[in-house]
Chain A
Amino acid sequence: MMIDHPLLGLRDAQEFTYLGDASLIDRPDWQAKDAQDQFHDYLYLRDNPAGEHRELWFHETGDRSWLVVTRNTLTHEISKVELARDVARARGRST
């Protein structure tokens, strides 16, 4: 597979390490009343779509960027690649 890194262009997937669903960015608030339930769902419940999937890849042997890759799990077609940091900020994460 080839991943179109937003900073570096097309790179071989071998340079990356796969983590999983991009929803791992949405780490719950530890002070919420039902924090344990929220963390449970965050950690253990995943969608397993046959089709488009947003997922986290780490450019481990490259520039060490975490990326959010939108990939079709049936065809491996990659339609979008973003810096995870930008995605995280857009989803309201900061400090």
Chain B
Amino acid sequence: MSQVNRLSGGQVNRNTELNFRFDGRSFKGFEGDTLASALLANGERLMGRSFKYHRPRGVLTAGSEEPNALVELRQGNRQEPNTRATVAELFEGLEAKAQNAWPSLRFDAMAVNDRFSNFLTAGFYYKTFMWPKPFWEKVYEPIIRKAAGLGSISFEEDPDLYDKGFLHCDLLIIGAGPTGLAAALTAGRAGARVILADEDFRMGGRLNAETLALGDVSGADWATETLAELASLDNVRLMTRTTIIGAFDHGTYGAVERVQDHLPQAVAEKPRQILWRIYSRRAMLCAGAMERPIAFADNDRPGVMLASAVRSYVNRWAAAPAQQVAIFTNNDDGHRTAADLIAKGVNVPAVIDVRADAPAVAGTELLAGAEVIGTQGRLGLTSITVRLANGQTRKIMCGALAVSGGWNPNVHLTCHQRGRPQWDAELAAFVPGPDLPIGMTVAGAANGQLSTAQALSGGATAAVVALNDLGVAASPIAVPQAEDAPIALKPFWHVRGGKSRAWVDLQNDVTVKDVKLAHQENFVSVEHLKRYTTLGMATDQGKTSNMLGLAVMAELTGKSIPETGTTIFRPPYTPVPMSTMAGRATGKHFHPTRKTPSHVWAEEQGAVFTEVGDWLRAQWFPRKGETHWRQSVDREVLQTRKSVGVCDVTTLGKIDVQGRDAASFLNKIYANGFAKLPVGKVRYGLMLREDGIAYDDGTAARLAEDHFVVTTTTANAVLAYRNMEFARQCLWPDLDVQLISTTEAWAQYAVAGPNARKLLEKIVDADVDISNEGFPFMACGEITICGGCRARLFRISFSGELAYEIAVPTRYGDALVRALMAAGEEFDVTPYGTEALGVMRIEKGHAAGNELNGTTTAQNLGLGRMVSKKKDCIGNTLSEREGMNDETGLRLVGFKPVTDTDPVLAGAHLMNASGAVNARTDQGYVTSACYSPILGSAIGIGFLKDGANRMGERLRAVSPLEGSEIQVEVVSAHFVDPEGERLRA
């Protein structure tokens, strides 16, 4: 019973027998098999169910273009759907499952769809599920989703490692068939840096699948010899199991290398697949050609295969698809299949050739001018019905039918930069057009040179041309004597007059009748045809079906094929797993994690962290006995306002600005004036966009005549620096000013609270005067602390308290926080996190990201008078536009709930005390809200129409999203210390 259809010879290793399971049954195969070849050797033709009608399907091809034999490979968290059995390399213990079949492959309940096929034609969904409208989301779509689709996923995390890599070469050769090998040898011997990539695990392409000789050796042996020489060359990199998935700009190619897919289990610490980015100076597409089928009634039964695939299975894998194999062809190439089968001892009952003048075939009967008009067999082919030239029909018993409709050059990658293939009448196929991706040439069968001799010489010659182009001298290798048969083909696409459906696209279950229906409903453009019928979609991108669909449409419209058009191809060439696209950028490695200098210390304190962009910042520091975050935050706020608190503010952007013109440069960057800021002083600055909208605020400290330190918000650190460089290089290129981002170079802490000075006095060196007189509010300076450590001190306050920000080189950041906390012990110092920071800034009415939200002007923020009209700065001209200067426009104000216990919600909209609640009556919105432990109630700040003139007014804050509506009173946004006495103390 084991391997009943295994033949002699082939390139499988009979010394290594492999056990595998398919759909719950055990089989044996050999090393070198694919899952498809091993199943065929075991007499298994049924490998899947079709997408829509759940028709039994077998393997059509022997390559990555396979539309039918899609399986689920492996189990558990390694389960992968939609793997083509034709490229799945066999390994010991392989587990595969047919997909899209329930309860089993042999009996599939959903095959009932096939009985209703008259209704399930093209456009069925569009026409049927139109009404009632709510049914789509709740009823129709879930049912359709469950019934349709291909494989399933495990929903578990992929345990394997995936990686990305970069390669450079002079010449990238895509495909290692006769063309690619001749090109690689030519270029390799010339000393060029060559990458030869092939998706197969054995290089050689059709040389491994044909019996044709090259000189006095077999094609496969010539390939082996050539590869041995290439492997000995240091300048040549051979990449098997590597698919070039896309041709991108400027000679960049994407490649997926399946490093460990062929192993029973991936070796840990090694990537399973690698996504390569290959930078090539020149590329040669040597991707060969793909055979195309002919459509006829019931041409989808397991056993109906492409003739070239039958040769691959018989010659390379020594696996016969069946004991009796008939041939249906429109060209001489199909006859080779008969010859090869007979040579291997497989019975060929007949060759059916549509050409009346077809040449005779030795060893079998030729039915010239005949056509296959039907097939029989429920789960696999048992016989075919043939209409002979004289009109009579004949039934022929066979378990497989090898079909050849001619060859399509594999132009996929030539289209990735919008290149359009052009029609070659002699081949009756599309060949690459003139608009190739820059640096790409096409040779061999991919270029329409279909004979082996043409492939070899075409590859060698094209390599020489590409290298000469790069200034590398090269001469073509001496190519061996090889087959050079002319094209002998009669264009023939589908058999007319069959009783059953004739399948065009096997993966999407599109029939000749569906194409006719699309035409009848006026979807005659190829692009419309594709979208209406789904022809050419899904995992195979219509590699075996597009041409056929196009030919049928051409016939219906009465136009030629080139007039009808062609669809082009997009990357990727074959499906790429999401894991491979992601590489190592998964989970917490999805984006980098930036840690502040006090991170380790904060962890020791048990801090709760929050993500702010890439940064991790301490959100609050829970103490023993605190069970709710609010307890911690309230305590941090109260303790800071009562005594002193310390907060890491390193994440704020820092930009060092130096040069003779530094002041006049900042004067152009900020809306408010900076030219006259004295040395040793800090000023608040507002940055506008050129359209007049406020986008960032911060401070600039003047450390010297020609030296400023600018701070930005954490979120805009990168953008503000980019904009400043733009202004420096593109707008005012002759200003003497230099910029550098120093965000990571300095660790910075806010020390805030009435005892802040007392605390710092214990840290700063003796000669540093930080008294209120010596170092008043908004002072700055370069000082030393802790006995000589250089530091920068800024007397600025975000909390509204007496406060400083102190910065030291980052490497001292951890030591400084520990020193500050130790020095503060006698004041019961508290560390505080971003929550307390936020509470205190709302209590002070300071704007942050919620207020600088991309729609607000300086006027809205109540900072209108800051915008200088006496100088040129970014945004000032357009900030004067009428619509942005409405006297009764939105103004930043504060809100207190009328009932103390009511929460204020950020995002709530403000409505008058009575009247309708809608967009027309909208008075503004709450931007930030929190609980204020100082005031003992919730508070909010936000924008209110004519807000400055509405103090004391009662409004409704409405949040339909949260289903809440409360009464609020309009108050000043400065809840705490409105006169600013504390921060000047």
Contacts and interface: CB of A to CB of B under 8 A. Distances in A.
A69 interface: no
A13 B726 CA distance: 18
Contacts of B876: 30
Interface centre among B250, B661, B691, B726 (most CB of A within 10 A): B250
Contact of B877 (A17, A25, A39, A76): A39
Contact of B729 (A13, A40, A66, A76): A66
A4 to B, nearest CB: 10
Interface of A: 1-2, 13, 17, 19, 24-25, 27-28, 30-31, 35-36, 39-40, 42-43, 56, 58, 60, 64-66, 74-78, 83-85, 87-89, 93-95
A89 B735 CA distance: 11
A88 B729 contact: yes
22 contacts: A1-B248, A1-B250, A1-B252, A2-B249, A2-B252, A17-B722, A24-B730, A30-B872, A39-B877, A42-B690, A43-B691, A43-B878, A58-B725, A66-B726, A83-B729, A84-B730, A85-B729, A88-B733, A93-B730, A93-B734, A95-B661, A95-B734
B878 A36 contact: yes
B251 A2 contact: yes
B722 A88 contact: no
B722 A60 contact: yes
A93 B731 contact: yes
A58 B722 contact: yes
Given A19-B726, A75-B417, A40 B734 contact: no
A66 B725 contact: yes
Contacts of B125: none
Nearest to A14: B277
Interface in B659-685: 661, 664
A36 B880 contact: yes
Given A39-B878, A88-B731, 9 more contacts: A25-B730, A35-B877, A74-B418, A89-B734, A93-B730, A93-B731, A93-B734, A94-B732, A95-B661
B854 to A, nearest CB: 15
A66 B722 CA distance: 9
Contact of A36 (B249, B732, B872, B881): B881
Contacts of A19: 726
A13 B134 CA distance: 46
A39 B732 contact: no
Contacts of A76: 249-250, 417
B556 to A, nearest CB: 33
B438 interface: yes
Nearest to B872: A30
Contacts of A17: 722
B731 A27 contact: yes
B407 interface: no
The 5 closest A-B pairs by CB, nearest first: A94-B734, A2-B250, A1-B249, A30-B872, A88-B733
B695 interface: no
B169 to A, nearest CB: 14
Residue among B438, B733, B734, B880 having the largest count of chain A Cβ atoms under 10 Å: B733
A89 B733 contact: yes
Nearest to A27: B731
Contacts of B732: 93-95
B749 interface: no
Given A36-B880, A36-B881, A95-B661, A88 B725 contact: no
Contacts of B417: 75-76
A58 B418 CA distance: 27
Contacts of A30: 872, 876-877
Contacts of A84: 729-730
B280 to A, nearest CB: 11
A94 B878 contact: no
A58 B878 contact: no
A32 B418 CA distance: 46
A93 B733 contact: yes
A40 B882 CA distance: 13
Interface in B420-450: 438
Nearest to B721: A64
A43 B726 contact: no
Interface string B863-883: 000000000100011101100
Nearest to A94: B734
Nearest to B438: A77
Nearest to A31: B872
B663 to A, nearest CB: 13
Contacts of B664: 95
Contact of A95 (B722, B730, B735, B881): B735
Contacts of A13: 249
A53 B973 CA distance: 48
B279 interface: yes
Contact of B279 (A2, A28, A35, A43): A2
A56 B730 contact: yes
A78 B252 CA distance: 14
Interface string B394-419: 00000000000000000000000110
Contacts of A60: 718, 722
A65 B160 CA distance: 40
A23 B732 CA distance: 15
Contacts of A27: 690, 731
Interface string B723-755: 001100111111100000000000000000000
B82 to A, nearest CB: 30
A40 B878 contact: yes
A75 B419 CA distance: 10
A74 B419 CA distance: 11
Contacts of A88: 729-731, 733
A1 B438 CA distance: 11
Contacts of B872: 30-31
A35 B880 CA distance: 11
Nearest to A59: B725
Contacts of A39: 690, 877-878
Contacts of B725: 58, 64, 66
Which of B417, B725, B877 has its CB near the most chain A CB atoms (within 10 A)?
Answer: B877
A27 to B, nearest CB: 5
Contacts of B881: 36
Nearest to A44: B691
A11 B403 CA distance: 49
B701 to A, nearest CB: 22
Contacts of B661: 95
Nearest to A67: B729
A93 to B, nearest CB: 6
A74 B417 CA distance: 9
A21 B792 CA distance: 40
B878 A66 contact: no
A35 to B, nearest CB: 5
Contacts of A35: 877
Nearest to B881: A36
Contacts of A25: 730-731
A36 B872 CA distance: 13
B568 to A, nearest CB: 15
Contacts of B730: 24-25, 56, 66, 84-85, 87-88, 93
A75 B438 contact: yes
B833 to A, nearest CB: 31
A83 to B, nearest CB: 8
Interface string B946-965: 00000000000000000000
Nearest to B734: A94
Contacts of B878: 36, 39-40, 43
Nearest to A38: B877
A2 B725 CA distance: 22
Given A43-B878, A94-B734, A65 B729 contact: yes
Contacts of A89: 733-734
Given A36-B877, A36-B880, A43 B690 contact: yes
Contacts of B734: 89, 93-95
A88 B732 CA distance: 8
